[in-house]
Amino acid sequence: MAVAAETQSEPRVVLTARGLGKDFAGFTAVNNVDLDVRHAQIHALIGPNGAGKTTVFNLLTKFLPPTRGRIELLGNDITHTGPAKVARMGLVRSFQISAVFPHLSVRENVKVALQRPAGLATQFWRPLSALDRLNDRADELIDRLGLGTYRD
Protein backbone atom coordinates (compact mmCIF):
# COMPACT_ATOMS: atom_id res chain seq x y z
CA MET A 1 0.00 0.00 0.00
CA ALA A 2 1.48 3.32 -1.05
CA VAL A 3 0.95 6.31 1.20
CA ALA A 4 0.80 9.65 -0.51
CA ALA A 5 3.19 12.20 0.88
CA GLU A 6 1.41 15.12 2.44
CA THR A 7 2.32 18.31 0.67
CA GLN A 8 1.85 21.79 1.90
CA SER A 9 1.96 24.71 -0.43
CA GLU A 10 4.23 27.52 0.61
CA PRO A 11 2.53 30.67 1.89
CA ARG A 12 1.88 33.15 -0.89
CA VAL A 13 4.33 35.91 -1.66
CA VAL A 14 2.87 39.27 -0.62
CA LEU A 15 5.84 41.56 -1.24
CA THR A 16 8.48 41.18 -3.94
CA ALA A 17 11.55 43.20 -4.83
CA ARG A 18 13.60 42.51 -7.94
CA GLY A 19 16.87 44.22 -8.80
CA LEU A 20 16.17 46.89 -6.17
CA GLY A 21 18.82 49.57 -5.90
CA LYS A 22 19.40 53.02 -4.46
CA ASP A 23 22.20 55.47 -5.20
CA PHE A 24 22.93 58.67 -3.30
CA ALA A 25 25.14 61.17 -5.17
CA GLY A 26 27.26 58.46 -6.72
CA PHE A 27 27.28 56.18 -3.65
CA THR A 28 25.44 52.88 -4.06
CA ALA A 29 23.66 52.16 -0.78
CA VAL A 30 21.58 49.22 -2.04
CA ASN A 31 22.50 47.15 -5.06
CA ASN A 32 20.45 44.49 -6.85
CA VAL A 33 18.28 43.24 -3.96
CA ASP A 34 15.89 40.39 -4.75
CA LEU A 35 13.43 39.63 -1.97
CA ASP A 36 10.22 37.65 -1.48
CA VAL A 37 8.18 38.19 1.68
CA ARG A 38 5.64 35.44 2.31
CA HIS A 39 2.33 35.80 4.14
CA ALA A 40 2.36 34.91 7.86
CA GLN A 41 6.09 34.18 7.91
CA ILE A 42 8.84 35.79 9.95
CA HIS A 43 11.59 37.39 7.90
CA ALA A 44 14.84 39.01 8.98
CA LEU A 45 17.10 41.47 7.24
CA ILE A 46 20.46 41.32 8.98
CA GLY A 47 23.82 42.91 8.45
CA PRO A 48 26.37 45.24 10.01
CA ASN A 49 25.83 48.95 10.52
CA GLY A 50 25.89 50.74 7.19
CA ALA A 51 24.95 47.65 5.17
CA GLY A 52 21.77 49.26 3.83
CA LYS A 53 19.09 47.54 5.95
CA THR A 54 17.24 50.75 6.79
CA THR A 55 17.53 51.92 3.19
CA VAL A 56 15.92 48.67 2.00
CA PHE A 57 13.03 49.20 4.43
CA ASN A 58 12.69 52.80 3.29
CA LEU A 59 12.57 51.63 -0.33
CA LEU A 60 10.03 48.87 0.32
CA THR A 61 7.73 51.20 2.29
CA LYS A 62 8.22 54.00 -0.25
CA PHE A 63 9.86 56.47 2.13
CA LEU A 64 12.57 56.58 -0.56
CA PRO A 65 12.15 56.11 -4.32
CA PRO A 66 14.37 53.39 -5.78
CA THR A 67 17.03 54.29 -8.33
CA ARG A 68 16.35 50.99 -10.11
CA GLY A 69 14.39 47.79 -9.70
CA ARG A 70 10.78 46.85 -9.14
CA ILE A 71 8.58 46.43 -6.05
CA GLU A 72 5.29 44.53 -6.06
CA LEU A 73 2.68 44.35 -3.30
CA LEU A 74 0.14 41.55 -3.74
CA GLY A 75 1.07 41.37 -7.43
CA ASN A 76 0.62 45.12 -8.00
CA ASP A 77 3.59 47.21 -9.12
CA ILE A 78 4.14 49.87 -6.43
CA THR A 79 7.58 50.99 -7.62
CA HIS A 80 6.35 54.51 -8.40
CA THR A 81 3.48 54.66 -5.89
CA GLY A 82 3.66 57.17 -3.03
CA PRO A 83 4.05 56.10 0.60
CA ALA A 84 0.57 57.22 1.69
CA LYS A 85 -1.14 55.15 -1.01
CA VAL A 86 1.07 52.15 -0.26
CA ALA A 87 0.14 52.45 3.42
CA ARG A 88 -3.55 52.49 2.50
CA MET A 89 -2.90 49.32 0.48
CA GLY A 90 -1.72 47.69 3.71
CA LEU A 91 2.06 48.01 3.66
CA VAL A 92 3.14 49.91 6.74
CA ARG A 93 6.20 49.85 8.89
CA SER A 94 6.76 50.15 12.58
CA PHE A 95 9.64 52.10 13.98
CA GLN A 96 11.89 51.02 16.83
CA ILE A 97 10.40 53.75 18.97
CA SER A 98 6.64 53.68 18.79
CA ALA A 99 4.56 56.53 20.07
CA VAL A 100 1.34 56.40 22.01
CA PHE A 101 -0.66 59.18 23.55
CA PRO A 102 0.28 58.93 27.25
CA HIS A 103 -2.71 60.99 28.37
CA LEU A 104 -5.16 58.55 26.72
CA SER A 105 -6.19 55.12 27.97
CA VAL A 106 -5.23 51.93 26.13
CA ARG A 107 -8.74 51.77 24.65
CA GLU A 108 -8.57 55.40 23.49
CA ASN A 109 -5.15 54.82 21.87
CA VAL A 110 -6.49 51.77 20.02
CA LYS A 111 -9.53 53.77 18.87
CA VAL A 112 -7.24 56.46 17.49
CA ALA A 113 -5.43 53.76 15.48
CA LEU A 114 -8.77 52.40 14.22
CA GLN A 115 -9.93 55.74 12.80
CA ARG A 116 -8.43 55.27 9.32
CA PRO A 117 -9.80 51.75 8.69
CA ALA A 118 -13.18 52.96 9.95
CA GLY A 119 -13.14 55.93 7.55
CA LEU A 120 -12.93 58.47 10.36
CA ALA A 121 -9.36 59.71 9.90
CA THR A 122 -10.45 63.04 8.42
CA GLN A 123 -12.93 63.71 11.22
CA PHE A 124 -10.29 64.65 13.80
CA TRP A 125 -12.26 67.74 14.72
CA ARG A 126 -15.03 65.68 16.30
CA PRO A 127 -14.96 65.07 20.07
CA LEU A 128 -13.36 61.83 21.28
CA SER A 129 -16.84 60.54 22.17
CA ALA A 130 -17.55 60.36 18.42
CA LEU A 131 -15.26 57.33 18.38
CA ASP A 132 -17.46 55.39 20.81
CA ARG A 133 -18.72 53.27 17.92
CA LEU A 134 -15.22 51.80 17.77
CA ASN A 135 -15.37 50.51 21.37
CA ASP A 136 -16.36 46.94 20.46
CA ARG A 137 -13.57 46.54 17.87
CA ALA A 138 -11.03 48.16 20.21
CA ASP A 139 -12.06 45.84 23.05
CA GLU A 140 -11.80 42.83 20.75
CA LEU A 141 -8.22 43.73 19.81
CA ILE A 142 -7.25 44.54 23.40
CA ASP A 143 -8.63 41.21 24.61
CA ARG A 144 -6.90 39.32 21.80
CA LEU A 145 -3.58 40.76 23.00
CA GLY A 146 -4.34 39.93 26.63
CA LEU A 147 -4.31 43.58 27.67
CA GLY A 148 -7.83 43.73 29.10
CA THR A 149 -6.62 44.71 32.57
CA TYR A 150 -5.05 47.86 31.09
CA ARG A 151 -8.08 48.83 28.98
CA ASP A 152 -9.14 51.92 30.92
For 71, list phi and psi in degrees, rounded to 5. -125, 130
> What does the pLDDT average to over 18-29?
95
Question: Is residue 56 located within the same domain as residue 18?
Answer: yes
The total number of structural domains in the chain stands at 2
User: What's the domain range around 47?
Assistant: 13-88
The whole-angstrom separation of Cα 72 and Cα 14 is: 8
Q: Is 99 within a domain?
A: no
> What does the pLDDT average to over 42-53?
92
pLDDT of residue 112: 82
pLDDT of residue 131: 80
Question: Is residue 82 located within the same domain as residue 140?
Answer: no
Q: Are strands 13-24 and 27-38 parallel, antiparallel or unpaired?
A: antiparallel
> What order do you get walking across the sheet with 13-24 strand by strand?
27-38, 13-24, 68-73, 76-77
Which is more confidently placed, 138 or 128?
A: 138
Q: Is 70 within a domain?
A: yes
Which is more confidently placed, 142 or 117?
A: 142
Q: Rounded to whole angstroms, what are the CA distances from 134 to 8, 68, 92, 112, 117?
A: 38, 42, 22, 9, 11
